[in-house]
């Protein structure tokens, strides 16, 4: 009865079978030992099984698309990727405030500030300064600059 090599399943004819070739069977063992091993020393099938275990069962995804991880990730990006919005607010003068209109669909009740970036006149960027504030108020976004320098601001909002 024919046997298979352990790693990649090459068929080796038994001695009592027609077309048995001991040299060919020996070569199949060599090919199997070289091709069937990956750098970790595991068999190819062992690597595949481990990868599948780490990935998990696609049917357990909570997305509608369960065909692949890429499909599920694209579905999430389609739903949530458009919720982030970067607003270039321009210059906020030293020791002053500036009002910015909300973008269409964004309000103080359905959004919050994820991040903001401040660039001073020297071109230095900061992502936080306790003297520069962003507030979402009912009719607009209020930017407050309590520093002695003009700053350029970019605000990132997320819609919830």
d(CA 122, CA 138): 33
Alpha-carbon separation of residue 77 from 47, 63, 82, 160 (angstroms): 30, 11, 8, 15
Confidence of residue 128 (pLDDT cuts 50, 70, 90): confident
Q: Which CATH number fits domain 82-159: 2.40.50, 2.60.320, 3.30.1380, 3.40.720?
A: 2.60.320
Task: Give pTM, 2 decimals.
Answer: 0.48
Res 146 pLDDT > 90: yes
Structural domain spans, the chain: 3-56, 82-159
* Residue 81 DSSP SS3: helix
pLDDT tens for 73-116 read 888 777 766 667 888 888 999 999 999 998 888 888 888 887 88
Helix (H) or strand (E) holding 97: strand 96-100
Nearest to 76 by CA among 84, 64, 67: 64
CB contact at 8 A, 132 and 95: no
pLDDT value, residue 99: 93
């Amino acid at each position: 009865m024919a046997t298979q090599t352990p790693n990649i399943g090459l068929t080796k004819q038994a001695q009592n079978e027609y077309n048995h070739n001991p040299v060919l069977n020996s070569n199949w063992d060599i090919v199997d030992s070289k091709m069937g091993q990956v750098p970790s020393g595991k068999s190819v099938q062992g690597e595949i099984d481990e990868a599948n275990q780490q990935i998990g069962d696609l049917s357990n995804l909570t997305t509608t698309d369960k065909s692949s991880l890429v499909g599920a990730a694209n579905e999430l990006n389609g739903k949530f990727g458009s919720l982030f919005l970067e607003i270039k607010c321009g210059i906020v003068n030293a020791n002053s405030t500036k009002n910015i209109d909300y973008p269409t669909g964004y309000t103080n009740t359905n959004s919050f500030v994820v991040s903001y970036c401040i660039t001073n006149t020297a071109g230095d960027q900061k992502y936080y300064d306790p003297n520069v504030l962003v507030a979402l108020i009912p009719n607009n976004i209020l930017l407050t600059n309590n520093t002695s320098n003009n700053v350029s601001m970019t605000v990132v909002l997320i819609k919830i």
